[in-house]
Amino acid sequence: MDSLILGLRVLVALGAVLGLIWVLQRRLLKGKAKGRRRANTTLTVVSRQSVGQKASVVVVDAGDKRFLLGVTEHAINVLHSSDVPVEVPETAPAPESFADIFRDAGGSGLTRRSEIHRRSEPDKPQPMHGSILAGSTWRQAAEAIRGRRN
């Protein structure tokens, strides 16, 4: 019975401490949240390039301005500022398919692999017969493996 009472006292004390932490956290962050709000201003890091062990150059968009900043361990300096460049969407024609490009390059004499197999004569030896790329080689290998299992 004493261990039950001791366990309940520990749980109540733990609940009180967690409740106190929660209340303090809510009160402390409530005041700081108001000061951190900004009105529709965005800050975007466009690019960053390291120029030394502890120095870099950063391109930042802030609202409608673009800044080139020099960033070191001890300071941040504005190197240049300008308006954000307007991005114009490219109206490039749709790229051709690979087959069209290949055909234009002079590869029109090639046919699909399935057409080659349909046209092949059974008596005529296949050019890739015995090669690792030939389908017959893979079928023979599969038959050999199946034969060993049985």
Work out the pLDDT band at 144, boundaries 50, 70, 90. confident
How far apart (Å, rounded) are the C-alpha atoms in residues 66 and 62? Answer: 6
Range of lowest pLDDT (33-42, 44-53, 84-93): 33-42
Query: Residues 78, 69: contact at Cβ < 8 Å?
Result: yes
Q: How many CB atoms lie within 10 A of CB 73?
A: 8
Q: 135: how many CB neighbours lie within 10 A of its CB?
A: 13
Q: Per residue in 88-132, pLDDT tens?
A: 777 766 667 777 777 776 655 555 555 555 555 555 666 666 677
Outline where the chain has alpha helix (H).
2-36, 98-104, 113-119, 135-149
Q: What is the pLDDT of the chain when averaged over all its residues?
A: 78
Q: At residue 86, does pLDDT exceed 90?
A: no
pTM: 0.35
pLDDT above 70 (res 54): yes
For residue 150, the model assigns a pLDDT of: 52
CB 136 within 8 A of CB 144: no
